[in-house]
Amino acid sequence: MSDTCLAYERRGAVAIITIDDAPYNRMSLAFTDALEPLVATIGSDATIRAVVITASGDQNFSVGMNLKELGGALGDRERIDVIFDQRLRVLAAIENMDKPWIATLFGNCLGGGLELPSHAISGSPHSKARGSVCRNCTWAPCPPGVGARDWRGASGVIEQ
């Protein structure tokens, strides 16, 4: 696990972003701070043809924001606004990007953990291939050992 709870790798033309805070895969403030410039970089890189958003572990795709981090900001309206404005910017950048995003949903996907893949899936009208890869669920919890690790085969199709 990294300090930002985010891992990034490239496999050919596919960018892979991993929420790396198993078993909960919380979207911490550091995660969002790291995700914002990464999304901008991916958006401007013409050699990236698709993006996969996945998560580490096998229990939860993401339980959402790390609410403990918000505790200190609750009394500071300006700070809360900055936090949520950043989230909205990142989600809008993902939704409006002209590249397909694939979310590998498994386990629980709650709150902000649902928000990220739903923006990736709703996507730009310019992109024809967006969606989640989960054979047995949409947004509901998947039983352990069932779910969406099948995206790995998609990279060959994307590169064609």
Nearest CA to 152 out of 43, 11, 29 is that of 11
How many alpha carbons lie under 13 Å from residue 30 in its C-beta half-sphere?
Answer: 13
- Cα-based distances in Å from 64 to 2, 94, 129: 17, 17, 25
Is the pLDDT reported for residue 66 higher than 50? Answer: yes
Whether the Cβ atoms of residue 100 and residue 129 lie closer than 8 Å to each other: yes
Q: Is 136 inside a domain boundary?
A: yes
The chain-wide mean pLDDT, for the chain, equals 76
- Domain range for 49 is 6-159
Q: Is 54 inside a domain boundary?
A: yes
Which residues neighbour 106 within 8 Å (Cβ) at sequence distance 6 or greater? 55, 58, 60, 61, 134, 142, 146, 147, 148, 149
pLDDT at 46: 96
Q: Is 39 inside a domain boundary?
A: yes
Main-chain dihedrals φ then ψ at residue 31, nearest 5 degrees: -60, -50
Q: Is 52 inside a domain boundary?
A: yes
Q: Is 140 inside a domain boundary?
A: yes
pLDDT at 133: 43
For residue 76, give the amino acid letter.
D
Is the pLDDT reported for residue 21 higher than 80? Answer: yes
Specify which residues 68 forms β-bridges with: none
Rounded Cα distance between 122 and 144, Å, is 26
Number of compact structural domains in the chain: 1
Whether the Cβ atoms of residue 29 and residue 35 lie closer than 8 Å to each other: no
Q: Is 1 inside a domain boundary?
A: no
Q: Is 88 inside a domain boundary?
A: yes
Q: Is 120 inside a domain boundary?
A: yes
Q: What is the CATH number of the domain that holds 62?
A: 3.90.226.10
For residue 66, give the amino acid letter.
N
pTM listed for this prediction: 0.75
